[in-house]
Amino acid sequence: SNELTQPPSVSVSPGHTATITCSGEKLGDMYGSWYQQKPGQSPVLVIYQDTKRPSGIPERFSASSSGITATLTISATQAMDEADYYCQTWDSSTGVIFGGGTRLTVL
Q: Which residues bind to another protein, rule: CB under 8 A?
A: 29-31, 33, 35, 42-45, 48-50, 54, 86, 88, 90, 94-101
Nearer to another protein, 1 or 13 (CB): 1
Nearer to another protein, 25 or 31 (CB): 31
CB of 56 to another protein, least distance (A): 10
Three-state DSSP string of 27-56: HHCCCCEEEEECCCCCCEEEEECCCECCCC
Return all residues near 80 (Cβ < 8 A) that are at least 6 apart: none
Nearer to another protein, 31 or 69 (CB): 31
